[in-house]
Amino acid sequence: MTCVGLLITAPMVAQAQSAPPAAAFPTRPITLIIPWQAGGIPDTQLRLLARLASKPLGQPIITENKPGGVGTMAPATVAANGKPDGYTITQFTTTVLRMPYLMKVTYDPLKDFTFIGGLSAFRFGVVVRADSPFKTWADFIAYAKANPGKLTYTTFGTNSVLHLTMERIAAAAGVKLRHVPSRGNSENNAAVLGGHVMASADGSSWAPFVDSGQFRLLVTWGEQRSKRWPDVPTLKEVGIDITESTPFGLVGPAGMDPKVVATLYDAFRKAMHDPEHIKLLGLYDMELFERGPDEFRKWATEENVRIKEVVERFAEKDKK
């Protein structure tokens, strides 16, 4: 080879050795699998966040509903079948941590996912129809004591965080309630409106119904009263030393590239703070749960310990 050839070849070799990855992420649409039926508050919120996050990503985020397993079917599918390339993600809630203690599942909640980041948290509370004889939480408990097992309430599933918390509340109050599980928030609200159950324990999907005068909010489960309904007491204020909420975020299959994770989290962090999303949070009295990948994993690890203790005491087990 001539000297000229060497001079030409050497820079070409150097460029090849220092070449960037073949393609920056993302180069095609991303799929967000939603673990809930269409039309509920989680579905509405995730669809909005997907639309907002697609802007900084420069690619559309396609949403796909895969309800079932009290919100675990979608994560289980992602863990089992998703490629760790960032193009398939899903919601991660406390239910994903809870179900392995209740039944056989196909995933390990701390090992089979890449934690992308926390998003927001629901305010929980108990509502009744506006014409209910229960004017206060004291009325609710008094009826339950006088009529063991006759006071019906709904949540979005057996052994959901809402169901288990209601069982904790019942134990603390010394009453027996009857749980009527549903498939989601919209069914909970319809069941109360239709008089099929006497109460609903849910995240703040009931907020518009409280504001419109169709529901009465008896108690909330947070550390402090809601600024939106300051006259409604917390559980602690009515003598029950329990607080509960359900932060959630996004995960993908285990083994994702940290750079891809950072790109996704940055896009969804921007979406979280978008005025359109902030408005939705206000509508349903929700709050941000802004956690980066490491913080979100740390939260899940700590929450896993607490959930195990609750399940061992209160859950309806069907482990096969």
Same domain? For 152 and 299 the reply is: no
pLDDT for residue 69:
84
How many folded domains does the chain comprise?
2
Identify whether the C-beta of residue 165 lies closer than 8 Å to the C-beta of residue 124.
Answer: yes
Same domain? For 232 and 275 the reply is: no
Q: Is residue 186 part of a domain?
A: yes
Residue for token pair 């209160």: 314
Same domain? For 133 and 211 the reply is: yes
Q: How many CA atoms lie within 13 A of 36 on its CB side?
A: 23
Same domain? For 150 and 297 the reply is: no
pLDDT for residue 23:
63
> Which parts of the chain have pLDDT scores under 70?
1-23, 317-320
Same domain? For 226 and 139 the reply is: yes
- Which residues 6+ apart lie within 8 Å of 283 measured at CB? 207, 208
Same domain? For 230 and 251 the reply is: no
Q: Is residue 84 part of a domain?
A: yes
Q: CA-CA distances (angstroms) from residue 40 to 43, 155, 184, 284?
A: 5, 13, 7, 12
Length of the chain: 320
Q: Is residue 6 part of a domain?
A: no
Residue for token pair 């008896």: 218
Same domain? For 117 and 136 the reply is: no
Cα 312–Cα 315–Cα 318 angle in degrees, nearest 5: 100
Same domain? For 131 and 234 the reply is: yes
pLDDT for residue 279:
95
pLDDT for residue 174:
98
Q: Is residue 23 part of a domain?
A: no
Dig out the tokens for 267 from the structure.
């896009």
CATH of the domain at 200: 3.40.190.10
91-110 per-position pLDDT tens digit:
999 999 999 999 899 999 99
pLDDT for residue 320:
41
- Helix axis angle, 161-173 to 293-314, nearest 10°: 50
Render 196-252 in DSSP notation, one character per residue.
SSSEEEEEGGGHHHHHTTSEEEEEE-SSS--SSSTTSPBTGGGT------EEEEEEE
pLDDT for residue 8:
39
pLDDT for residue 21:
43
Preceding peptide of 230 cis, ω within 30°: no
Cα torsion through 31, 37, 39, 45, rounded to 10? -50
CATH of the domain at 79: 3.40.190.150
Dig out the tokens for 18 from the structure.
């220092």
Q: Is residue 5 part of a domain?
A: no
Same domain? For 278 and 196 the reply is: no
Same domain? For 44 and 178 the reply is: no
Full domain range(s) for residue 78: 30-121+246-314
Answering whether pTM is above 0.85, one says: no
